[in-house]
Structure 1
Amino acid sequence: MMRSNNPSIPIPRTVPLLPLHDKVLLPGVVTRLQISRRDSIPLFEKILRSYDSKDLNKCIIGVFPVHTPVPLPDDKASKQVSSSVADNDNNNDGDNGNKGSRKKKLSSISKSDYGGYPLTDDGTVVGSNAGQVVPLIGGPGKGGGSQIPPVDPAHIHTTGCAARLVRLERAVGGFTVMLEGIVRLRLNKIIAQTPFFEADVTPLLDRPVDKNDQELQDQIVALKSTSKEFVSLLQTLKLPAPVLVQLQKFLENVGVIPGQVVDLLMSTIESTNEEKLMILDAADLRERIPKAIELLTRQIHVLKISQKVHDNVEGKLNKKQREFYLRQQIAAIKEELGEKDTGEEDEMTIIENRLTAANLPPDVQKAADREMKRLRKMQPASSEYSVIRNYLDWL
């Protein structure tokens, strides 16, 4: 689901930050998310307390991708996990009067309990909240079950997207939210981590198109041409009409809002999270447009190949269907004329004569007659024809 972005919406300097795992939100795109992490749920609990349902769209959230840490090699992880760490229950970290972060003994905890996240030399989870383990709400086993560590600020991407809250609903184990991307954000610094992340950010607005910038104008022309070819291919694939209409309307304004067109198209094509991150990071249009053209060209190539394969398969199926239909018509005409086919019919007669000469038991003969009727209706080229023919020969 996509909508035009609106950079004119005021973006606060400080926004609540929602870490986004395995997904990238671009301006102008509306996405639905299931919120079930303990480090994100408090944000939406507060929003429910602070906003009326009709004012939810006034709530601006900074949505930032999170880089997945590289899992440790099994031998190194085993060595680190086996180390035992003393509890520090008597230390106070000064945060809301809570006891200091407990460095949990890990002698009996496997690497999988931490989802492969890196561990420090003393065996605790890497991150500012090292040693704390955050269970997934609704995960298996509330007491032990599936656990994941809190988000390490060092893993949060430095470019994100300001999002307007479109819908917020309670769900089993958390919330279902719908967010609309508005404008790119640069993460200056994280100013709070509990009960949820808050950050100091700077909006990264697209600059107005300079008609005297020949390089940019050439890129826009190339983008328009490539985009039209892409939409044309989508039409042949019978994409839903509302999506096509929206894309075509945006393409009409590619000369005025090329950045928004790129973001919209990138949410339409098949691409990896890394490629979407590349587009998100490209705040400069002269950097973003060439990358988008490259990805669009690849998608066009894939669509053309898919269409060619589809047409070839459909053509072969239609040809076989026509042949089968004609064979049936010819057989019916010959039957009306009292004529016999010297080819396939002779073969059928030979099989029938062999079955008769075999003097089969009644139940076996009944099965053979049934398979003979099926065989007469099939094309000799089909695989099932060969199977039945071999079965009858075996009888």
Structure 2
Amino acid sequence: MAESVELPSRLAILPFRNKVLLPGAIIRIRCTSPSSVKLVEQELWQKEEKGLIGILPVREAEETPSVSPVISHGVGTDSTERSSKTQVGPTDSQKLNGKNPQEVIHWHARGVAARALHLSRGVEKPSGRVTYMVVLEGLCRFSVQELGTRGTYYIARITPLEMTKAEMEHVEQDPDFIALSRRFKATAMELISILEQKQKAGGRTKVLLETVPIHKLADIFVASFEISFEEQLCMLDSVDLKVRLSKATELVDRHLQRRSHKRLRDSYQNPRRNFFYVNR
């Protein structure tokens, strides 16, 4: 489960093409490009449980076929850290290798720090190329102040976006936040009940509703839905807890309505499966 962590001032960055990692979510990725392999070796494999990296969403131009669908190739060939010397915004871009002006990556201004839950190393045959399978857990949001490179992979100067304990306690006393929390929990519980009836599961999820802080639950629930890249970015950018809860409730409610409509449609198509159907 995601928890509060103290982030360093700089994080190695793994670009995530048209996809977002949210705090509390767990993803499994395969690193094959030289830059991503080097990042894993230096920032995760050697540091073991102390290793942290940043996952930063990118919107890549259509004319960049040489870039991996999930992880883009790094820039630079020297071993020193180089900075782009520019502020990074939602529409800012960074050129790859500085050679082809068409090879442009559009970086998002915010990302999520992640730690490795599992690492496995493989060697492809007959090429002998080293690859890594990495299971990452999202921890907390950050904003990018400056983006550069360290050898063959990216690195960013960052600012954490998590609230302090005192700030969190103050927000939790806000009547609006309390009302939003209750609405989110009610909507989430309704969705869980429907899933429980269909899949005979959901007990563990109900425990989460009672034990995990509500602002973390919002991210965890939304991360499990199939939503657009724009909606994922919107959720990532919801640093304000009330905005985050409102957005999460909207998405959970939409998912709930889809499930309800599907269940109703199935009941009409298969009336004998309808609990309320009575043959008189």
Contact 1:57 1:165 survives alignment (8 Å): yes
How much does 1:314 deviate? 2.7
> Max radius of gyration: which structure?
1
Pair 237,270 (structure 1): closer, same or farther in 2 beyond 3 Å? farther
| Aligned twin of 1:300 | 256
Does residue 1:216 correspond to 2:177, yes or no? yes
How much does 1:280 deviate? 0.8
Per-residue CA shift, 1:170-201, capped at 9, x if unaligned?
23452210111111111111132531111111
Per-residue CA shift, 1:190-246, capped at 9, x if unaligned?
13253111111112114414344122111111111111111111112215x3xx233
1:203 and 1:213 mapped to 2: Cα distance? 23
Q: Indicate which of 185, 196, 199 corresponds to 2:153.
A: 196
| Aligned twin of 1:180 | 137
Does residue 1:237 correspond to 2:220, yes or no? no
Contact 1:60 1:164 survives alignment (8 Å): yes
| Aligned twin of 2:69 | none
**1:255-334 mapped onto 2 (5 Å cutoff):** 257-315=213-271
**1:1-395 mapped onto 2 (5 Å cutoff):** 4-7=1-4, 9-47=5-43, 50-51=46-47, 56-69=48-61, 96=78, 127=95, 129-131=97-99, 149=103, 152=105, 155-171=106-122, 172=124, 174-206=131-163, 207-209=167-169, 210-238=171-199, 241=201, 244-253=202-211, 257-315=213-271
Contact 1:62 1:160 survives alignment (8 Å): yes
1:259 and 1:203 mapped to 2: Cα distance? 16
Judging by fraction of residues, say which structure has more helix. 1
How much does 1:303 deviate? 0.2
> 4+ residue runs of structure 1 moved beyond 4 angstroms?
none
How much does 1:308 deviate? 1.6
Pair 317,228 (structure 1): closer, same or farther in 2 beyond 3 Å? closer
Report SS of the residue matched to 2:177.
helix
1:317 and 1:166 mapped to 2: Cα distance? 42
How much does 1:258 deviate? 1.6
Contact 2:192 2:206 survives alignment (8 Å): yes
2:181 and 2:143 mapped to 1: Cα distance? 25
Judging by fraction of residues, say which structure has more strand. 2
The one-letter amino acid paired with 2:215 is: G
The root-mean-square deviation of aligned C-alpha atoms, in Å, is 2.9
Per-residue CA shift, 1:327-369, capped at 9, x if unaligned?
xxxxxxxxxxxxxxxxxxxxxxxxxxxxxxxxxxxxxxxxxxx
The one-letter amino acid paired with 2:13 is: L
How much does 1:160 deviate? 0.6
Higher RCO, Cα 8 Å, sep 6+: 2
Q: Which runs of 5+ in 2 are unaligned?
A: 65-75, 80-93, 275-280
TM-score relative to the length of structure 2: 0.76
